[in-house]
């Protein structure tokens, strides 16, 4: 099979061995695979996959057709359209997916859109609801809202009845994020004055943390799931104590299969119906064929994008 392959810190497209499904796994002919910040880190050598996952093929999300099933697979069968978060190796013509983490592709999504759903909507839903406990009527601030997880979080917050403020650096993207339903789309330097917020989703990094404490409501929660702008900072713990606030962080990739399966079922139940109702969409900045994977990574790294960059793979 052909696959996006890490060679000396760069992306190339090369022939790699076809994967084989093991017990409980699906072999999927990948039709589309989204790019994520974790892929950029992996290419640079800073975010290796878990043991047992090919280290030289990036890709944390995919959508495609089941072509074969391992033993003890009971839900899906060849021909089914599925999508999933994977631990790696998703940017290839074929990939293996554990059946417990696979989700059906909604009829409303074409392959390109479906390839950009699993990682960002699962990450956003887990952070906002499972961890931060966002509820109807609460005030939500999403930092870095023009990216994939950010645009998913804005839409999920709006769909849940929260009052959403989106922090976006690029003015043009700010308008587009506002069109997703954010009550207020603002420049990053204005977020403290725009508070207070019950939940703050931090997708940018350490530079925001002190301001996040200033903007946090009493009993508020800060969820850190992105540190692209830095991971080390100094904060005033007294301020955190006075506000009875909570700061927690999370990653999805290294969780055990049981936790990933729970996250997938929650997304299937609570998120996927939003595509049928029209409450959710998948903004795609650009899509590239697999053979142009280096150009896709270049576009992702250039910034000033709304939503996803996606590899279209295996189309007839």
* Residues 216-225, mean pLDDT to the nearest whole number: 97
Q: Which of 249, 251, 255 is nearest to 98 (CA)?
A: 255
CB 240 within 8 A of CB 267: no
Please count the other Cβ atoms lying within 10 Å of the Cβ belonging to residue 304: 11
* Residues 239-264, mean pLDDT to the nearest whole number: 93
CB 198 within 8 A of CB 128: no
Tokens of 2: 């052909």
Tokens of 312: 């279209």
Please tell me the predicted confidence (pLDDT) of residue 315.
56
Q: Which of 170, 175, 155 is nearest to 274 (CA)?
A: 155
Task: Return the percentage of the chain with pLDDT > 70, whole number.
Answer: 99
Strands 139-143 and 102-104: unpaired
Residue 163 has pLDDT above 80, yes or no: yes
Split at pLDDT 50, 70, 90, the class of 117 is very high
Chain segment 235-250, per-residue pLDDT in tens: 999 999 999 999 999 8
Task: Catalogue the long-range contacts made by 108-112 (C-beta closer than 8 Å, 24 or more residues apart).
Answer: 108/275, 108/276, 109/63, 109/275, 109/282, 111/31, 111/32, 111/63, 111/64, 111/312, 111/315, 112/32, 112/284, 112/287, 112/310, 112/312
Helix (H, G, I), strand (E, B) or coil at 77: coil
Residue 316 has pLDDT above 60, yes or no: no
Please tell me the predicted confidence (pLDDT) of residue 227.
81
Residue 134 has pLDDT above 70, yes or no: yes
Residue 306 has pLDDT above 90, yes or no: no
Give all domains of the chain, ordered by start, each with its CATH number.
2-117+253-312 (3.90.180.10), 120-249 (3.40.50.720)
Task: Catalogue the long-range contacts made by 150-153 (C-beta closer than 8 Å, 24 or more residues apart).
Answer: 150/124, 150/177, 150/201, 150/203, 151/120, 151/177, 151/180, 151/283, 151/306, 151/307, 152/120, 152/121, 152/123, 152/124, 152/125, 153/124, 153/127, 153/128, 153/201, 153/203
- What's the chain's average pLDDT? 94
Split at pLDDT 50, 70, 90, the class of 258 is very high
* Residues 168-195, mean pLDDT to the nearest whole number: 88
Q: Which residue has the higher pLDDT, 194 or 173?
A: 194
Please count the other Cβ atoms lying within 10 Å of the Cβ belonging to residue 24: 18
Please tell me the predicted confidence (pLDDT) of residue 175.
83
* Residues 100-123, mean pLDDT to the nearest whole number: 96
Please count the other Cβ atoms lying within 10 Å of the Cβ belonging to residue 140: 25
Split at pLDDT 50, 70, 90, the class of 98 is very high
Please tell me the pTM assigned to this model: 0.94
Chain segment 16-27, per-residue pLDDT in tens: 999 999 999 999
Chain segment 30-89, per-residue pLDDT in tens: 999 999 989 999 999 988 888 889 999 999 999 999 999 999 999 999 999 999 999 999
Start-to-end C-alpha separation, the chain: 15
């Amino acid at each position: 099979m052909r696959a996006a392959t890490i060679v000396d810190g760069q992306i190339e497209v090369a022939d790699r061995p076809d994967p084989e499904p093991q017990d409980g796994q699906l072999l999927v002919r990948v039709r589309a695979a989204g790019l994520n910040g974790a892929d950029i880190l992996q290419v640079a050598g800073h975010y290796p996959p878990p043991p047992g996952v090919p280290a030289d093929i990036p890709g944390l999300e995919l959508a495609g057709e089941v072509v074969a099933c391992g033993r003890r697979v009971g839900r899906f069968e060849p021909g089914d359209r599925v999508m999933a978060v994977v631990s790696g190796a998703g940017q290839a013509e074929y990939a293996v997916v554990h059946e417990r983490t696979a989700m059906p592709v909604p009829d409303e999504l074409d392959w390109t859109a479906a390839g950009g759903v699993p990682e960002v909507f699962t990450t956003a839903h887990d952070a906002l609801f499972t961890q931060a406990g966002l509820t109807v009527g609460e005030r939500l601030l999403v930092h870095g809202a023009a990216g994939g997880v950010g645009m998913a979080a804005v839409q999920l917050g709006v769909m849940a009845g929260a009052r959403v403020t989106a922090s976006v650096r690029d003015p043009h993207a700010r308008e587009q994020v506002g069109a997703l339903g954010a009550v207020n789309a603002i420049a990053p330097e204005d977020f403290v004055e725009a508070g207070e917020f019950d939940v703050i989703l931090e997708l940018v990094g350490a530079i925001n943390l002190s301001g996040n404490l200033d903007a946090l409501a009493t009993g508020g929660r800060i969820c850190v799931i992105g540190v692209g702008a830095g991971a080390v900072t100094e904060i005033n713990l007294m301020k955190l104590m006075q506000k009875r606030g909570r700061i927690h962080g999370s990653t999805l990739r290294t969780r055990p299969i049981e936790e990933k399966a729970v996250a997938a079922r929650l997304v299937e139940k609570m998120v996927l119906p939003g595509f049928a109702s029209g409450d959710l969409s998948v903004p795609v900045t650009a899509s590239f064929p697999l053979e142009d994977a280096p150009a896709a990574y270049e576009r992702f790294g250039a910034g000033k994008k709304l939503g996803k960059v996606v590899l279209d793979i295996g189309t007839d």
